[in-house]
Chain A
């Protein structure tokens, strides 16, 4: 028996997400956890990964942990810095982006996302940031990965506002939309990881993190989850993944504590 290195929930989410990027070439990166996920994947399962930022950077090689998607460390040493028009038109809309990360205040069972308002649009209870690039990213990136904390108020039966489209719930419709994007393929939360059912486009519980029960998962979402036949435990981060996260990617523990 080996002594397992203790790890935080964020570290588990980062490692589980990075493994989803195996073989990926062009990845649209967000700030925070996705940024560490992509940098970890580049050092493990996806050495060819190009980090693309909506701020107009293709092929970033950040020398420090960027605190925003417009950090100056992203421009210095990158492959290309483009105008935002080019980034959205020639890279994203034209279909060059393989994977993008999105999150939101609310997600539904089909992976539709709300980043606009909680409550009524005209009289919001909480005014959220809005789309940013999320609406077009959801449509054009070939796969969407979602990283979110899981709770009843964020995993909801019905969105207050649909900012970015996921699956429609009608597979025939989804197959004929003609978008580059195939929608969300994976969701990683602090409790579990999910795929999406190929037929219904509905979120499917695939793995639960060590110590988490199905009741924990059920208690933190607003609908009755579909459960994969081969439901398994989320593999713990390896020693090497933890070393990279702690020593190279987030030595200050800004996002991983």
Chain B
């Protein structure tokens, strides 16, 4: 059964005001195009979850779509701060932003608990840290089996909508990823609704030729969107490089609300969809981000007829 749709349709149907939305991807496979469409459709009062709120969430939070952020590290990796997020946290400008913070391992395990239908997940972290003091949802628990062995538990996180980018999927949503995996699999299984965005929609036979590479089965996917370069300025391994120039440029853009607003007008509100964004940059720009080739070796699964 085909789940193919457009980004506009997927966001219109599945993302609602007040939802908890997770756009994951650790540096790699961050679906900026989905964030832009959520901004364009002017969703409001979202709780945004993400291990590493970086430029994508600075754009979304700067555009006013969110009232709360669940996270473990916020910043512009290798560059510095998120200016729009900081304005809201430090000065309530233009309005406060509620924070709920964990560590990376804690966030990953929140998705694991959500994906595995568990009431909590135990980890060995947070000892002698102030994090549980400011987040009462991180709770110490004694081992029932071993006297004196204490863990901390984190609650499950089941986003209303999980948005995952990948290199390829078939029309039914069977999704393959290579390169950095982040927690794409965990968030997809944890999501109540799942949008998969891919560089290429491929025939089911391509997926079946290499089943070990399938990270997300179509069984948990609600919509499949084919949207090349949807991660820019993040990257898709083997398709295009991280656009480090943009991450540096964002530091200047986001510094003042006026320049951020002008950027949103030009690159989000002023464009109908991501295709126009790609055309606006032009072919030469995308060519400059194309990596050389480094194909994997093939394995023989064997035929057992």
Given contacts A84-B182, A139-B125, 8 further A-B contacts (CB under 8 A): A31-B77, A84-B51, A116-B130, A124-B89, A139-B124, A162-B130, A163-B131, A165-B129
SS class, residues of chain B in contact with chain A: loop
CB of A25 within 8 Å of the partner chain: no
Complex: chain A residue closest to B239, CB-CB: A72
Docked CA distance A69–B73 (Å): 13
Q: Shortest distance in angstroms between B19's beta carbon and chain A's nearest beta carbon? A: 23
Best-buried of A88, A93, A131 by chain B (most CB within 10 Å):
A131
Interface size on B, residues (CB 8 A): 50
Contacts of A68 in B (CB 8 A): 27, 77-78, 242, 244
Contacts of A74 in B (CB 8 A): 180
Contact check, A136 vs B104: say whether CB atoms are below 8 A apart.
Answer: yes
Q: Contacts A75-B179, A84-B183, A85-B112 given: A135-B123 contact, CB under 8 Å?
A: no
Q: Shortest distance in angstroms between A118's beta carbon and chain B's nearest beta carbon? A: 10
Docked CA distance A4–B160 (Å): 62
Complex A-B, nearest 6 residue pairs according to Cβ-Cβ distance, in ascending order: A70-B27, A132-B73, A165-B128, A136-B125, A129-B75, A131-B103
Complex: chain B residue closest to A160, CB-CB: B130
Contact check, B130 vs A163: say whether CB atoms are below 8 A apart.
Answer: yes
Docked CA distance A132–B106 (Å): 9
Contact check, B237 vs A130: say whether CB atoms are below 8 A apart.
Answer: no
Q: Shortest distance in angstroms between B58's beta carbon and chain A's nearest beta carbon? A: 12
CB of A32 within 8 Å of the partner chain: yes
CB of B285 within 8 Å of the partner chain: no
Listed in ascending order, the chain B residues whose CB lies under 8 Å from chain A are: 26-28, 51-52, 71-75, 77-78, 85-86, 89-90, 101-105, 108-109, 112, 123-131, 134, 149, 178-183, 185-186, 235, 237, 241-242, 244, 291, 294
CB of A12 within 8 Å of the partner chain: no
Q: Shortest distance in angstroms between B295's beta carbon and chain A's nearest beta carbon? A: 11
Best-buried of A57, A82, A178 by chain B (most CB within 10 Å):
A178
Docked CA distance A129–B237 (Å): 26
Complex: chain A residue closest to B148, CB-CB: A178
Q: Which positions 150-168 of chain A face chain B at CB distance < 8 Å? A: 161-165, 168
Contact partner, A71, options B27, B51, B90, Cβ 8 Å: B27
Can you list 8 A-B contacts with CB-CB less than 8 angstroms, sorted by A residue number?
A71-B242, A75-B178, A121-B134, A126-B90, A131-B72, A132-B72, A135-B103, A162-B128
Contact check, A83 vs B125: say whether CB atoms are below 8 A apart.
Answer: no
Q: Contacts A130-B74, A132-B104 given: A70-B26 contact, CB under 8 Å?
A: yes
SS class, residues of chain A in contact with chain B: loop
Best-buried of A67, A124, A129, A178 by chain B (most CB within 10 Å):
A129
Contact partner, A125, options B90, B101, B179, Cβ 8 Å: B90
Complex: chain A residue closest to B107, CB-CB: A84
Contact check, B181 vs A84: say whether CB atoms are below 8 A apart.
Answer: yes
Contact check, B127 vs A88: say whether CB atoms are below 8 A apart.
Answer: no
Contacts of A126 in B (CB 8 A): 86, 90
Contact partner, B27, options A69, A134, A136, Cβ 8 Å: A69
Contacts of A168 in B (CB 8 A): 128
CB of A34 within 8 Å of the partner chain: no
Complex: chain B residue closest to A177, CB-CB: B127
Contact partner, B90, options A89, A127, A177, Cβ 8 Å: A127
Docked CA distance A135–B237 (Å): 29
Contacts of B74 in A (CB 8 A): 127, 129-130
Contacts of B112 in A (CB 8 A): 85
Docked CA distance A127–B75 (Å): 10
Q: Shortest distance in angstroms between A86's beta carbon and chain B's nearest beta carbon? A: 9
Docked CA distance A127–B72 (Å): 13
Best-buried of A70, A85, A125, A134 by chain B (most CB within 10 Å):
A70
Contact check, A164 vs B129: say whether CB atoms are below 8 A apart.
Answer: yes
Contact check, A131 vs B101: say whether CB atoms are below 8 A apart.
Answer: yes
Complex: chain B residue closest to A122, CB-CB: B134
Q: Shortest distance in angstroms between B247's beta carbon and chain A's nearest beta carbon? A: 8
